[in-house]
Structure 1
Amino acid sequence: MDLDNPRRLAKQAIQATVPPDLWERNRGFVQELQETIHNHRLVGHSAGRALADGQFTKEDLARIHLEYRHAGVKIFTDALLIAQLLTKQVESRLGPGSKMPSRFLLTLNALDEFGFRPGVDQAGYYRGNPALAHYPLFEDLLDQLGVGREERETYTPTPVADALHHNLESAYQDLAVLTLFLTIAEKQVVLFSPPLREAVMAVGIDVKDGYYEFHGTSDEEEWTAYDDDHEDDLWYILMQALTPEQYEPVRTKAEHYLGLWSQFWDEQMKLWKAPMAS
């Protein structure tokens, strides 16, 4: 049995569970969502350039990362695991076992999140270390930014960071909506991890073995990141989860969640001090 290229095999298996006419309708709708994201103001937001240019202080970045933590980082793996459970929702429509290819793809995402690495160790078993799990690495970054544990636990997030947090949690009963929000969150990570990495480096923090080593896109040769792969995986899971009657509610929720992320970065830009003209 073929064990190579598990991502490709899982996508083929997902498509095979869906009637061809429904698959084509769902794929067309997903392409519309992708176009909506591509044309949204979140893509190309001015915060990306300001971060990449190193125009935030260490204190600014501490606040931004506290916001980021509340908006999604702290609960991302919760949402990922709940999505794995919710794949059971497709079985009544698509048949026994139809949930497993989507769970397989979500597991690839979870393996990265939990600190596993591709390959096998000297004993021929999985490679990994929980110390490399992404959420603890984010907490380590907060240590480097000078944010203590008490400050993290008592921090009052802005309303938009709180709205992002609660929107994600509100989707914990609906596979299609939760998958959509995870997809948009991954896109947001693809867009903002490289400039955040540059901003953190600019204040003297080594990112080579930390959170931002593992966030960005797979074509960044210097880093070990797969967020673009995870985004693509989630689109396939969404194409399995969708039914036509969900199209308009899902479209509305996509636009709302994208808008919240744009507002999130608007809020962070209030910390930015525009360079003085020479």
Structure 2
Amino acid sequence: MTVKFENFNNPRKNAIEGIKKSIPAEIWEKNTVFLSQLRKAISEHPVSRHPAIQILNDGVIDKVSLEKIHLEYRHAIVQVFTDALLMAQFQAKQLEPRLKSGSKMYPRFLLALNILDEFGFRPGLDDEGYYSGNPEYAHYPLFEDVLNDFRISQDDRNCYQPSMISEKVRSYLENSFNDYKAVTALLAVAEEEVILFSPALRHATHAIGYDVDSGYYYVHGVSHDATAEAADDDHEDDLWFVLAQACTEEDYDFITKICFEYCDLWQQFWDKQIADLQYEPYQKLA
């Protein structure tokens, strides 16, 4: 069969349609209702209204404190996020043999769009008609560039001893790597945390005089933000679509449990960041 070129348009839509059609309609409906309710409950978790968001937005955190927050955040999520995405893509093999052969390729394709973004590819073709991208534009190196702006040396980064809660946040995600449903669910929660805190971190970084009109903070946030080139909301939606294909009713309690445990850890993470601030009005909020 010859594949027509127009079939390559709307790759994200094509992947979502393939995911949806790979399971019975009644299971898709039941799973999406469950996940919609879960997302609403997650959006009402206290971490979504954490005082740290307003403190960061107020631009009152000094440079030394903000350096530490960035090192903590780096350890907790930035260094391991793409590891988790790649593990989710790999563990999609767990869909078979429960689903029809080849079904794992739809979520792998959808996850690849997130991975391409994380790795520094850009939509469109280069001057030679090939993929457009540069690994220096990958999100992890861009975060390292922020640390360069802070003049944090490589030795200081390597020798940094993260807090216990930063280690717990990181380990919780890493411990999910062997379970496709678990790592996908936690990645979806992680994207929500990125959406909540990246704009605030951007404001705080700008407030101490650093350029945030390009680089890491320019590519993090939501797709409708005209001041950034980000799509974390689309990536989060896609992870829930992936999970809607993967989960069964027997998984609902487990998925709910781990999502809220991960939210609780993020709540504790930001409690710790506030507690370490030297500003007396904020210490009582921890």
Q: Same fold (TM over 0.5)?
A: yes
CA RMSD of aligned residues (A): 1.3
TM-score (norm 1): 0.96
Of 249, 253, 272 in structure 2, the residue corresponding to residue 267 of structure 1 is 272
1:168 and 1:162 mapped to 2: Cα distance? 10
Deviation of 1:244 after TM superposition, in Å, equals: 1.5
- 1:93 paired with 2:98, answer yes
Secondary structure class of the residue paired with 2:122: strand
Runs of 4+ in 1 over 3 A off after TM superposition: none
Secondary structure class of the residue paired with 1:218: coil
1:51 and 1:66 mapped to 2: Cα distance? 15
2:165 and 2:275 mapped to 1: Cα distance? 13
For structure 1, which segment, 18-27 or 69-78, has the greater mean C-alpha deviation from structure 2 after superposition? Answer: 18-27
Matches within 5 A, 1:88-237: 88-237=93-242
Gaps of 5+ in 2: none
Deviation of 1:274 after TM superposition, in Å, equals: 5.2
Q: Deviations over 1:71-90 (max 9, x none)?
A: 01101111111110001111
1:147 and 1:229 mapped to 2: Cα distance? 32
Q: Deviations over 1:177-226 (max 9, x none)?
A: 10011000000000111111010011111112211010001111121101
Name the aligned partner's letter for residue 189 of structure 2. Answer: I
Structure-2 residue corresponding to 1:64:
69
1:136 and 1:20 mapped to 2: Cα distance? 42
Gaps of 5+ in 1: none
Deviation of 1:146 after TM superposition, in Å, equals: 2.2
For structure 1, which segment, 233-242 or 31-40, has the greater mean C-alpha deviation from structure 2 after superposition? Answer: 31-40
- 1:77 paired with 2:89, answer no
For structure 1, which segment, 262-271 or 193-202, has the greater mean C-alpha deviation from structure 2 after superposition? Answer: 262-271
TM-score (norm 2): 0.94
Secondary structure class of the residue paired with 2:132: strand
Secondary structure class of the residue paired with 2:223: coil
1:35 and 1:207 mapped to 2: Cα distance? 31
Percent of residue pairs bearing the same amino acid type:
47
For structure 1, which segment, 153-162 or 176-185, has the greater mean C-alpha deviation from structure 2 after superposition? Answer: 153-162
Q: Deviations over 1:234-268 (max 9, x none)?
A: 00001111011111111111110010011111111
Name the aligned partner's letter for residue 271 of structure 2. Answer: D
Name the aligned partner's letter for residue 210 of structure 1. Answer: G
Q: Deviations over 1:154-190 (max 9, x none)?
A: 1111111111111111001111110011000000000
1:97 and 1:42 mapped to 2: Cα distance? 38
Name the aligned partner's letter for residue 157 of structure 2. Answer: R
Aligned length: 276
